[in-house]
Structure 1
Amino acid sequence: MHTFTARADFSQRNAALLAAYQQCRTTANRNAVIHANLPLVWRVARQESQRSGHSFDDLTQEGCFGLIKAVERFDPGRGHSLSTAAVPWIRGAIRHYLRDRSHPISGSHHLLELHRRGQALQKQRQQQGLAPLSAGALATALGCSLERWQLALARRRSLQLASLEQPHLDDDGDLTPLVEQLRDSRAGDHYARVIRWEQRRHLWRILRRLERRQRRWILGRLLRQDTWRQLASGSGLSPKAVQRRCEQLLQELHQQLTPLMGS
């Protein structure tokens, strides 16, 4: 019921935004429609990212170009909804980008399966009270090279980063990307309940500027609730050291976001 109400409210808001744009075709009105319909881009970009192995963030940017064209060309008199008209434009823009500029990552399924086996082995050792294996030792146990294991880690991380911009129903029944739902591990408050598109992009840029290892710590702790021991695995640091560094990063992240926070 909550989900149905949220969707009905969105449909009403979207119809009002489209009507305003049709009446006065300004850039501001167009952008309001685009921002409201970004979940369409996220959905298609996620599908194409999982299919091709390419960066969700890059595909999202290309999909936005398709959404802009769809909004500018949308004719409500044809009897179709904007979502029906926009998805082919979004998918077309993304696939054009993939054809012209990208090279498919081969063996993606096998890399994900390798990562799953590695995680299962580390979890088994943890349950037995054993220390986690280093990256090199884990690769040996899995019967692959260290380079192959690192590729599997990178492939898995790319999918985890993709999920940041995917819409999820929050406590109010609104579609909210996970990137908006990051919490300070000590304060427990949402960094933002409602953040405009530009603010979400700012948060994403902050995360992208972190070192890969630091970003993995934050996402692993906040999105998957990994233990400090799991996060420290293969890093050469103790769980305590990782905990201190991660909490420091969270504090810095919180300070950078505070000026952008709405009430």
Structure 2
Amino acid sequence: MVLSTRRLPAPDLCAGCREIPEAIVDRHTRNRRRLRAYADATDPVTRLRWRNLLVEDNLPLVFSIAGRQGTDAGLAFEDLAQVGSLGLIKAVEAFDPDRNVSLSSFAVPYIQGAMRRERRDRQPLVRPPRPLWDLHQQVLALQEGRRRQGLDPLPPAALADRLACDPARLEEALAIRRTAAVRSLDAPLGPGGGELEAPSCLLDLLAAPTGPVAEDPLEAPCDPRGAERQWLRGQLADLEPRERQLLVGRLDGGCTWVELGRQLGIPARQAQRRHDAALDRLRRAALAWRQGTLSPTQAAAMPPAPSPAGPPAGSAAR
């Protein structure tokens, strides 16, 4: 049996469409005829077929709008096309064939509105200034390009020279992920069991009439673990910049291993191994400091733990 390689015309998805010579009319005429048939149909199944046929035939309009907005929207083309298709469905269902307007003109606001709502819903609650965000994106793109070329990531000073920006402003841009994090007002300031008069959460601290609030809630005098937190800050300040970025980005910023690897220009598994080694060293130093066997300076000088060969079996670097 020999199969023909000649492409056959795509069959019409709706059986009732065969009475219309679709191949000899343009999309505008097809839309007008199908919209009239969709409005006149009373059977739910028939209406659904006409609607789906209209949506599938006008998907190029959605793709065109998604392609124009993709570079500025911060979303993948597939995500924009998906939500834009939902807007097109709503436009078809709301269209009045008696109005002197084309479906494409009527559907554009629906499609663009769906895409705008999707972008709005995905935006962080705390939005940094646009110039800082753009600088942050430039840093990520530059470090990612160096990683792909097999080069080491640039330190902050070299980044500032490369991007021709002020080092202090670059530091602000690099801290965007941390500063944009939202903390609940009900978050506890420390473990329970303290004095009843002491504020137990940020909301109580803000409402306390005892005087001005400390700039950093973690350093408030009501925090029973203030000494430990102060010690931890000192340890983080003494770490290598890469180790500090891994620990802060993972534990405080909630970054994935892939994101941390891109920031540092290393593979995700290597970022995970370095993070685990630095965290293990900090834990052992903290245990020794609590037991009083080492001073903070001696604890900070402890050698790093051997790096594991990789993540445990069955786990994948995110």
The TM tier, using the shorter chain, reads: 0.3 to 0.5
Which has the higher Rg, Structure 1 or Structure 2?
2
* Larger fraction in helix: 1
Q: TM-score, normalised by structure 1?
A: 0.39
Relative contact order, CA 8 A, sep 6+: which one is greater? 1
